[in-house]
């Protein structure tokens, strides 16, 4: 399944790209598994997702938790915590 993944703020800086389209491997079924797979994929991902508990996600534009399923979604955005001001 092809999935568009967008990166924001320091996650984008550490990944070195703003977005990409990936083919999900079997077993990557939720946000936590996606973050884990991205972290294990290469050195950039390892650096960007070294602290997965700090990563926030939006699935098809809706804020999502680590256990949110990603089967059939079009886009996942990954970013650090955001505060208002």
Q: Give the CA count within 13 Å in the CB-facing half-sphere of 7.
A: 19
pLDDT in tens, 32-59: 999 999 999 999 999 999 999 999 999 9
Q: Is 23 inside a domain boundary?
A: yes
Q: Which residues contact 62 (CB under 8 A, 6 or more apart)?
A: none
pLDDT in tens, 55-70: 999 999 999 999 999 9
pLDDT of residue 62: 97
- Domain housing 60: 2-79
Q: Is 85 inside a domain boundary?
A: no
Q: Is 84 inside a domain boundary?
A: no
pLDDT at 85 over 60: no
**Full-model pTM:** 0.94
Overall number of domains in the chain? 1
pLDDT at 23 over 90: yes
Q: Which residues contact 63 (CB under 8 A, 6 or more apart)?
A: 56, 57
CATH code where residue 60 lies:
3.10.20.30
């Amino acid at each position: 399944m092809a999935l568009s993944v967008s990166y924001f703020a320091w996650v984008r800086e550490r990944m070195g790209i703003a977005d990409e389209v990936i083919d999900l491997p079997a077993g990557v079924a939720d946000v936590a598994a996606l973050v884990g797979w991205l972290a294990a994929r290469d050195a950039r991902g390892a650096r960007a997702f070294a602290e997965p508990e700090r990563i926030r996600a939006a699935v098809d534009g809706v804020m999502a938790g680590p256990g949110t399923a990603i089967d059939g979604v079009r886009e996942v955005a990954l970013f650090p915590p955001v505060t208002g001001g």
